Structures are given as structure tokens and as C-alpha cells.
A and B are shown apart, each in its own frame.
Chain A
Amino acid sequence: MSGGTSSRVSRFVPRNWSFAVLAVAVLLVPAFTRDTYILSIFAFMATRFMVVVGLWLLLGLAGQISLGHAAFVGLGAYGSAILVTRADVNPWLALVMSAVLAAAIAGLIGIPTLKLKGHYLAMATMGFGEIIHILLIQLKGLTNGTDGITGIPPLSLGPLNFSDPRLYHLLVWVVALIFFLLALNLTNSRLGRALQALRRSEVAAQSLGVDTSWRKLQVFMLSAVAASIAGSFDAHYVQFVSPDSFTLNVSVILVCSVVIGGFRSVWGAVWGTLLITILPEIIKRFNEDAVNLVFGLLIIVIVVLLPVKSGPLARLQLLLRGRERL
């Protein structure tokens, strides 16, 4: 379902009981509530989780920055919307096709820019994101411009109709959890270790035989695919897409999710998604507009304050976290 990675999925080690707890807790939610509002929050959390996990792989594991990931989500959403409503393609096939397109475009962008310094990739992905946003608005014949595309049918599989919120919850979270599992295992796989080495020192990694360009490209494409699939699910859930959902601001908030959640492990993606969903609700009680201000300041603080290089604070950190450093 994810496509793009060539690493073998390692055996699931039993010590990951925390994953089991998460999976059970999340999947049991529909058993406890039928409230459509709560279920809709969970539905959006699931797709956002997919994107954040993918972005974590890129940002947290490989240390590469994408400021245009909303565009990949948009590719998935609009890809599904257009193929299904205009060309009568089977929604599942459309989902896969959009993901393939996203992977291809990520590859095209990645090849020249992953060679360059980090901020070049950031700028290139920013520029790419803006171009996609403009295309979504201008190619009116294809995308219906600012009015967006309506009437996207909900997903269904045989007898199962996913317009039922509880069924949809299960579907989307199963997919999200599969992504999470893949990511968990990726960290321990060859690709994962190669990426961690690369993040520390690209030169050192290369001298040890790591094909850094290819590895970075792989993870960039993988994160694009995750984003695209999330976008496709959203399109079928909301049954409507518009260019407003795929802006630079969204991309920046996605990066904030990963940073705030933490780079340490893939679980950062869990915390990040949770915080991005819950923090705004809390902040809004004090001041409607301050949400993004808090996010912006938060990521500055996080990145400046940890880890600290020397002094008692640093030693404490080393103690708590092992010898990992940003």
C-alpha cells in the first residue's frame, strides 16, 4: 500500500507493547461512542498522523526539511477527486495512482535538490508547494479553481460502505497504524540505520558505503506517498476539496507537528499529532488568534534549548536520553 521503499519489514519485536496499547486504544474508540463530532476529530487525526509519520521519517530520521508537504497531500486529494469524479476511476485505484504520481514528483524534485544543502531543499519544496497551489487554482478545467471539487463519493469496499463514521474510523486508523508500524520497523532496518548515520555525518556515512543520495531520495518519496494517501482519504471523507487546504501555512504547521512531537523516535509523530489537535483548542480559550504564534515560538524554543551541549543540563539530558543528539 505504501510503495517506494525497498527495505524489508523486519520482524515485529514483542517489546513494542506500547504499539499494541496504542492500536487497541484507538481502534476501540468507536465501541465507546457514536458521536459523529468526536469520530470526525479522530478521522482527521488519523490522516494527519499518516502525513506526520511520513514527515518524521524525512525530518526526524533523515534530517531533511520539506516545507511543501501540503502539496503532496493536495496531490493525493485532488488526484483522487479528479480521477474519481471526472474519469470514473475506482477510488482505490485512484488512491494508488495519486500516490504513484506523488512519489514520481518527489523523485523528480529530490534528485537535484537532495544534493544541495538543507535550506535549498527547504526552499525548493516551498517553491514546489506554491506552484502546486497556483496550479490548483489556475487549471480551472481540471480542478474547478477556487470553487473546488464537490461530490466526491465516500469509499466503499464490497459490502462495506465507509460513509458510516465508525467503519471509516476503523479503516483509516488501520491504515495509519500500518504506516506507523512500518515506520517503527524502518528505524531499525538497514534504511533506518543508514539514515541515522547520514544525519550525523553525511561524509562519514558515505565513507562507510552508504549511498546517501539514494537513501534520502527513498525516504523523501516515501513521505510523499504517505501524504498523498492521507490526502486521498480526506477527499473521500469530506467529499470536497479546495485549494485553500493546501497552502504554505499548512506545510509549516506539519513541520511544527514533527518538531513539537520530538525527533527522538517515531512516537514523536504520535505526540506531535496529538498536540497539534489538542493545543489549538486550549489556546483558543485564551486568545483566538494566538495558536500559530505559540507554535512558532515553541519550535524555536525546542530547537534552541535541546539538546544543550555542555553543563549540568546537558549531562541530565544525556542521562535521560542516552547519547542521542540532534
Chain B
Amino acid sequence: MAVIGASGSASTLAMKAITAQAGIPQIAMAASNNITSEPPSDWIWRVAPKDDLAVERAVSHVAEGLRVTKIAVLYDENAFGSSGLAQIEKVKDRYGIEVVAKESYKTDETDLTAQLTKLKGSNPEALIVWGTNPGPAVAAKNLKQLAWDIPYVGSHGIANAKFIELAGEAAEGVTFPTTKILFPESITDPEQKALIEKLITDYTAEFGQAPNHFSSHGWDGIAVLVAAIEQAKSTEPAALQAALNGLTDFTGADGIFTYTATDHDGLKVDDLIMVRVEGGKWALAQ
């Protein structure tokens, strides 16, 4: 009747052609933009915040949190980093941000001092680094080495312990966007807060460790489907599709979901929070 999958973007993309052809709803828990932006997309909805959303959250942090206007962007030349840059360019005007310089790097680049030196020459007020480990960690170390004291905003790709392990002390002060499950106190919606707190309690009791965003995606995957079934009062694929498209203000673990026929992403920018590395651990940034 429906498929919940996958956690990884590549598998999700591979699956969606099949589910679309079979006319079966698929609930994805992956972040890559083209899951919903490229056809076929009528039969796939996602519960994880998509990459573009994380980019926008980072940009909004720069504009509203840091209150600066000139930024430099250092991005991985792969699909993740390039689409991050593209999204920055797309939303920057909305937030009054100017990209004064941008440099790319190869995914496994070992030395970013040259790129950073070049960026420094344009006098930006904040630096956005968009990539996944180890690039951003190298960037953090190089920043420290260059003694360049500029706010470093990273991608959700560094929302893990690996980044701190690689960057060591250089990770201090780095901020990045992520979902609210790490800091339940940041949740403003009382229904969502209650849900998350119950999720954390039950999960920890059951599995002996705190849940992370993969857990919350898993929860939402099922919750959204169940909500659709209840709404449609049927399990027919076509009815489910209509119900999902009409799902409004549904409280999930990752945020408040609202889907429409054209928006299968469901979440908004403020469903994400900014986290800062402090003392080798994470703290809420704002």
C-alpha cells in the first residue's frame, strides 16, 4: 500500500522511479533536493528537511543571528556543495545578503589555505562552508592556522561527532543547522515539544541511548503515513495520495508538516535550529 524509504538519498532516488511507476506512495527520509524537485515526484513525500532548507536556515542565521550582510562561500565542488551554493545565490536577496567571494574545493582536498586566503581578500563578514567531512574540518583548521577570526557557518553535513574529532580545537564556535531533536528546549510548539519529549523518553528506555535525527525521521515516516490513512479512511494508493497532499499542520517530531499537491517537502525554515560547537560539545546558538 505504501513504502517508507530510504534514509540515504541515492537509494531513495533509485526507488522513486519504481514506486512512481507502480503508483504507490513513498515516504522518504532523505535530504537530497532532487527527490522532490525532479520528476517523477507525484508519489513521493519526504519527512526529513531537504538540503535547500538547511541552506536557507544557514543564510537566515547569517542575516538575523549574526546580523551581517557580506559573506564568502567555500563549497565542495560535488553535487551537495554546488547545490548549496546555488541555493545561497537564490535566497540571498530575500535576506539582504551579498556574496562577495566564492571558492570551490575538491571533495578530498587536503589544504584549503590558498582558497581561504583568496576569500579573505574580499573582506567578508561571515564564512559559509558547504560540504561534508572532511573538507569543512580542514577549512576549520586552516582558518585557525591563518589566524582569521571570522564566523564560520557550516552545513548540516557537519552535525556529527566526526567533525569535532577531525577539527579538534578549531571546531570551537562553528555553527550549523539541524533538526530540533538535539535541543528539545528550543521547540516552541507545545504539541511538538510533548511529542519529542515522549520520543526521547521512550527511545532511551527502549534502546539505552538518546535518539538522533535519524530516529525522528523514522518516527515521522510512520506518523505521516498513519495520519494519511486516518484522513483518507482507506488504504487505496490514490486516496492516500490525496490525503497526503492535503495534510496540513501535522505535528511531527521534526516539525509541523504541511503538504500540498506541489510541495511534498512539508517543513519550513524555522523547523531547523542553529547549533554551535562549544567546549567540544553542542550548544543552542542564538
Contacts and interface: CB of A to CB of B under 8 A. Distances in A.
On whether A and B touch (CB less than 8 Å), the answer reads: yes
Contacts of A146: 77-79, 82
Interface string B55-84: 000000000000000000000011100100
Nearest to A145: B82
Identify which of A138, A146, A147 gathers the most chain B CB atoms within 10 Å of its CB. A146
Interface in B78-106: 78-79, 82
A138 B82 CA distance: 12
Contacts of A145: 77, 82
A225 interface: no
A152 to B, nearest CB: 16
Nearest to A243: B78
B39 to A, nearest CB: 11
A138 to B, nearest CB: 8
Interface of A is mostly: helix
B77 A137 contact: yes
A137 B82 CA distance: 11
Contacts of B82: 145-147
Interface residues on B, range: under 10
A223 B77 CA distance: 32
A137 B76 CA distance: 12
Interface in A114-154: 137-138, 145-147
A35 to B, nearest CB: 16
Nearest to A147: B79
Nearest to A140: B82
A46 B77 CA distance: 33
Contacts of B78: 146
Contacts of B79: 146-147
B79 to A, nearest CB: 5
B114 to A, nearest CB: 16
Nearest to A134: B106
Contacts of A138: 77
Contacts of A137: 77
A129 to B, nearest CB: 16
Contacts of A147: 79, 82
Nearest to A244: B78
Interface string A68-111: 00000000000000000000000000000000000000000000
Nearest to B76: A146
A138 B78 CA distance: 10
A145 B77 CA distance: 8
B256 to A, nearest CB: 32
B141 to A, nearest CB: 25
Interface string B229-254: 00000000000000000000000000
Interface in B200-230: none
A116 B79 CA distance: 39
Interface in A127-184: 137-138, 145-147
B131 to A, nearest CB: 12
B82 to A, nearest CB: 7
A138 B104 CA distance: 10
A147 B78 CA distance: 8
Contacts of B77: 137-138, 145-146
A137 B78 CA distance: 9
A245 to B, nearest CB: 14
A309 B82 CA distance: 56
B190 to A, nearest CB: 42
Interface in A13-47: none
A101 B48 CA distance: 45
Interface in B152-190: none
A145 B82 CA distance: 9
Nearest to B78: A146
A147 to B, nearest CB: 6
Interface string A235-256: 0000000000000000000000
A137 B79 CA distance: 10
B129 to A, nearest CB: 18
Nearest to B83: A147
A147 B85 CA distance: 14
A249 B282 CA distance: 39
A145 B79 CA distance: 8
10 contacts: A137-B77, A138-B77, A145-B77, A145-B82, A146-B77, A146-B78, A146-B79, A146-B82, A147-B79, A147-B82
Interface of B: 77-79, 82
Given A145-B77, A146-B77, 7 more contacts: A137-B77, A138-B77, A146-B78, A146-B79, A146-B82, A147-B79, A147-B82
Q: Which 8 A-B pairs have the closest CB atoms?
A: A146-B78, A146-B79, A147-B79, A137-B77, A146-B82, A146-B77, A145-B82, A145-B77
